[in-house]
Structure 1
Amino acid sequence: MYRAVIIDDERWIVEGIKAGVRWEKYGFQVVGVAENGQDGLGLIEQLRPDFVLTDIKMPLVNGLELIQRGKEISPHTIFAVLSGHAEFAYAQKALNYGTFGYCLKPFEIEEIESMLGKLSQTLKHRAQLEPERDAQELYEVLCSGNVQLLAEKLASAGIPITANMPVTPIIVQGYVPAPYREDIHHIRFRINNRRVGLLVYSHLAERFLSSFDLSSNSIDYSIGIGPSSASPAQLETSLEAASVAAYGYFSTGKSGVYRPITPSESMIDTLLSELAGALAQKDRMRFMSVMESCRPLFHRYELTIKDAYLIFNTVMYLFTREGVKEHTRFLEGYDQLSYDYGHSDVMIDYLIKHTLNHLSDELSSRLAGVTHIRIKEILTYIHHHFNQGISIQSLSEKFYLSPTYLSQLFKKEVGENFVEYLSRQRIQYACKLLTETDMTVSQIGEKCGFNDYFYFTRIFKRLNGMTPTQYRETR
C-alpha cells in the first residue's frame, strides 16, 4: 500500500475525501490528516508519505510553502493540490514546484480517483526502476566516506539524518524478507548475493523488524542491527558494526538477530599470543588447547567473525614465517571466511587439522612403517588426544574393533603395546613442558593425561631414568 496524507483546513472536506474516495482500489492508504500546514509538515516528517493531497490556502503555513518545505523533508513524496477557482493562479504556480496535479473545488470524487490511478502507475514504475539503482549509488557513496555527498544522497532517497531523526542500519544475511513493510519508509541495497542492507528510522526499526516472517524461514540467517546514527558522519561506522553483527550465525551456529558486542582486546590479544607461542615451540597440544578454548567463546558470542579473521590469518602468517608455505592461505575478508567455513567450529577444526599436520613430523615417520589403515587412524587419533582419557576399550568402540584383536594388531604394527606407546607419548610431552614452562610437576602430570601424581613420577622415572624434578634440574 502507498501511504497518503490529506491536508485541508476544512474538516468536512478532509473527511469527505477520506471516506468517499476508494483509496484501496488504487493501492493507497490514508495514514494521516491535518487541518493546517504546520501540522501537515509534522506529519510529512514523521510518516514520509508517498503522496500528499493539500489545500492551497491554509493557516500558519500555506500550501505552496508546505510543498517547498515538504520536498526538502521528504524528497520522494509526490504532492497534488486542492484549490478553489479563486486560487487557480496559485494552483498553476504549484505545478511549477513539481506537483503531480491539482483538483479544483468543488471537485468530483471521480476526479480524485482518476488522479490516483495515474499516480499509482507512476509510483509503481518508479519503484521498479529507481530505488534499487539509487540505493546502490547511496551505498557506494556511504563506503567512500564523502559525508557531504552522503547527506545529499540520503535526503534525495527520503531518509535525511538529523539529531531528532536518527537512522538505524540493518544487515540481513541468508534471509530476504518479502514483502517489506510498505508503510514504513526504508532504503534497501544489495551488498552481495548473500547480504542485503537496509536503512530505516530508528524509532521505526523494531516495528520494521517485526514484519520479518522468520518462523517460516528454512535457511540459516543472521540479522545485524547497528547503533542508531544521528548524523551522516556516524553512519559508516554504524553500518560496519551491523555488518560484523550480521555474521552472528558464523560465531554461534544459531540463526537470529544480533547486535554489536563490546570487543575485548585483551582477550583476543591473549589468544593470539598463546597461539604464537604454541607454534613457535611446535607444541601441538598447547595449540590445540588454545583453539578448543575459543569454541565456547564463539558459541556465547563473546568472539565475533572479526576475531575469527584475526585468528585465521595470524596462524597462517606464523606458518609462513616459519617457512611452511604448503597449503598456506590467507583470507581477503569476513565474507570469504563465512563462505568458505560457514561456522566457527568448522574453521577451528580446519586450523587444528592443518596445523597438526605440520607439527607432527614424528607421527609422519611412525605412520610410514604401519601398513594397516585402521592402525594408522588410531595412531593419528592417539597423537592428537593422548592427554585425554584413552583406553583400549574406548578405541575399540570408536574404531569398531574388538579389544583383543586391537591389542594384538597394535603390537604387531607398532612394535609395542598400546599402554607403552601411550605412556611414551605423554612422557615426551611432559619433558617438553618441564623444559619450556614454569608449571609444577603436578600440573604437568595432569596436563599430560596422568590423574595420579605418583603414577606419573613412576612412569617418568622408568622411561627417563630420573624423576621429573631431577630432569628439570639437568636442563
Structure 2
Amino acid sequence: MELLKLVIVDDEPILLQGLLDTYDWKSMGFRVVGTAQSGEQAIQVIEEVQPHVVLTDIRMKQITGLMVMEEIQKTDLECLFIVLSAYRDFDYAQQACDLGAFAYLLKPIEDEKLQETMQSAYRVCMERIENDEKYESWEKLLVKDHDSFLQVVIQKYVQNRIPKEKVEEVMQMLADLPRNTERFITVCVDIDLAYRITHSLDYEAARFALMNRLEEVIGGKYFFWKTEGKGNCAFIIRTEDKSAVMELKHLLEHVKEDEKSPVVAAISKPYKGIEGIRRSCAEAQRLFGMASVSGASAFTVSEEVEVTAAEEQAVETDNLIVNAVRKNNEKELKETFVQLIYGLPQDEEKQCQYMHRVMLRTEFMLQDTYGLTDEIKKKFRNYYNNLENLSAAKAVDVCYKILCDVIEVRKKTAAEDETRYFKDYMKEAVAYIDEHLQEEELSIVSVAGHIYLNPVYFGRVFKNTFHMTFKKYLMQQRMEKAKRLLEEGNGSIGDICEAVGIHNPSYFSHLFKQYTGRLPSEYKKEYEV
C-alpha cells in the first residue's frame, strides 16, 4: 500500500501526542509527516510538507482550524481536511462543510468512525493521484489524438475543473494557441424542456436528431468543440469570421424551421483569448436561461437583440423560487412569489409559459434531491395536463400551492431522516435525564452538552423525536417518578422532592396537582394500606 502524507494539528500537546501514539496510521494508509500546535504553525507546516490529508482541531486560540482551511484554499495546494471538535456544534460543522471539509469528527474519536473516515479519505486521494497521472499520460497521446484531447481539456475548463494556465500549457504544447485574429463564440441549444413533459416518448429521439443536424450544419462551416452544459448542449466555435454571429443565427433559424420539435438556442458575442472560451460559454448559458423563460428560438447579444432588465429579473426570480424550495423556506418562497407577480409580463400567454418553466425547473431539482413523492408527482402532472384551462392568475395560485406542499413534504422527510440519524443520541439523552432527575439544574443545555450537540439544534431534534418539547418531557418524567415513589410509600414528601429535582415542596405540590389533579398527600393516601 502506498502511504500518503498526513499532518495532525491540535493546540493541546497531550491530545496531539495521544493522536500520534494511539492510532496505527500506517494501517490506514498514512504516514505522519508533520504536526502543529497552533493554527499559524499548521499553515507553515502544510505549505512546507504539502500533505494529502490534514487532521485538525476546529477550536484553537487565535487561528482556528476553519481559518487554517481558508488560508490553504488561497494557495495551489490540494489536500483534504478532516476537522475535529469536542463540541457537537452544528454551526461549526456547517461552516467546515461550507469550506469544503472532507469530514467532521467528534472528540473523543470513535476508533471505528476514524478508521472509516481515513480509509475513505485515502480512496479519494488515490483517485485524485491516479487522475493526475492519467492527465500527465495524456501528453503522450497528443500527437495521435490532438483534437479529442483538446476537446476533453476545453470541457474541463468551461466546467471550472482546470485553470486557464493548464489550458494554455496544453495549447502551447500542441502549438495551437489562439491567434489574435481568432474569436470564440458559444451556441447553447436544446429541445424546449416543456417538450420533455408533453412528448416524453419522442423527446430523446428528437434531441438526438437535433444534435446530429447541428453537428452537420455548424461543422460544415466552423471548427467547434461540443460540451454538455446545464440543461443544454454547448457548441464552442473557433473562428476568424467577423460575421459568424449572424451566420450562426441564420443556421439556427433554418434548423428550427426543419425540426418538428421546439428548439431553444442562445448565441454569445465573440470573445478572444483562452479566457474568451469560458466567457462566451457563461454568457450563452445565461442567455439560454432567458430564452427558455421567454420561449425564444434564438437569443443573441447583438445590436439587433436587446436583453431587457425585465428578462434578466425573470431569470433571477426563477432561480430564487427554485432555491427557496431547495432550502424548504416557506417565507422566502412567499416573498419571491410576490416579487414574481409584480414582475410578470403583460401577455397572459407568456405568464403561463413562464410559470410552466418554473414548475419544470423545480421538478427537475426535486428529481436530483428529495421530496418528489408519488403524490407530488401527481400534482405536477395534473398541473401540466390542465395548463391550457388555467388563467394566468390561477396558474400562479396553483403553482404556489403545489410548491408549498412540496416544502411541507421535504420538511417532513428531512425531519424523519434527522430523527433516524440521531436515534442513538436521543437514547443517550434520555438515559442521562433518567439518571440525573434529582438534579435541580438539569436542563436542555446540560443534556445537550453531555451528548455534544448545540442546545437549539438538540431541542429541535428532541421535539421531532418525542413529539413534545424537552421541558414538557422533563416535567413528565419527574412527575411519573414522583407518582411511583408516592405509590411505594417510601420517604416523605421532602425526600420525594429531592429525588425528582424540585427542592421547593410548595412548588412541587403545585406542579404535581397540575399534572395529576391531586396534591401529593392526597395521592399518597390512596396507596396507603
Output the TM-score relative to the length of structure 2.
Answer: 0.26
TM-score (norm 1): 0.29
